[in-house]
């Protein structure tokens, strides 16, 4: 029997069309991407997330010559949040990237490991959260859940 998987997202021509709160997350993610340690890929990724208490947590990618010992920006922010704000829920996560690995008009898509952590974070907090992905030229897509990024995810019920 054939079954289809459908994902949904909203597309914006530029992140300045987002709400002020979401624009702040894009600005914070762009700012923290400058702190990335990316001597090998030269690809700087920044993540910012807003918690239910309105706190904003940021993270940038941290590479290591002993690949794959580095960590993506998304996981830096998510793991920091889990360790330091275990009782707060994530409302929105934003990811931006800058570098030659991706054409400026293409949206950075989180790696599989980050997608799995995003999904596990939703399971952990028993609530989905929005995910904003921004291209280098400003085109933006917004997902309402990590499930849309990883529809056939490995999970507790598998």
Distance CA(5)–CA(10), nearest Å, equals 17
Is 92 within 8 Å of 22 (Cβ atoms)?
yes
Name residues whose C-beta falls within 8 Å of residue 5's C-beta, 6 or more positions apart in sequence: 151, 152
Distance CA(107)–CA(1), nearest Å, equals 33
Q: Is 17 a catalytic residue?
A: no
* From 17, 63, 74, 120, active-site residue: 74
Residues involved in catalysis: 74
């Amino acid at each position: 029997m054939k079954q289809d998987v459908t994902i949904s997202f909203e597309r914006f021509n530029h992140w300045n069309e987002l709400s002020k709160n979401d624009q702040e997350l894009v600005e914070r993610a762009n700012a923290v991407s400058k702190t990335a340690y990316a001597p090998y890929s030269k690809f700087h990724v920044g993540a910012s997330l807003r918690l239910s208490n309105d706190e904003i947590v940021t993270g940038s990618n941290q590479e290591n010559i002993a690949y794959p010992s580095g960590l993506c920006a998304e996981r830096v922010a998510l793991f920091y949040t889990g360790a330091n704000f275990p009782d707060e829920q994530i409302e929105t996560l934003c990811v931006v990237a800058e570098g030659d690995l991706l054409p400026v008009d293409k949206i950075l898509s989180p790696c599989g490991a980050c997608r799995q952590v995003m999904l596990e974070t939703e399971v952990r907090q028993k609530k989905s959260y929005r995910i904003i992905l921004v291209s280098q030229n400003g085109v933006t897509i917004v997902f309402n859940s990590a499930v849309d990024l990883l529809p056939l995810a490995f999970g507790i019920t598998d």
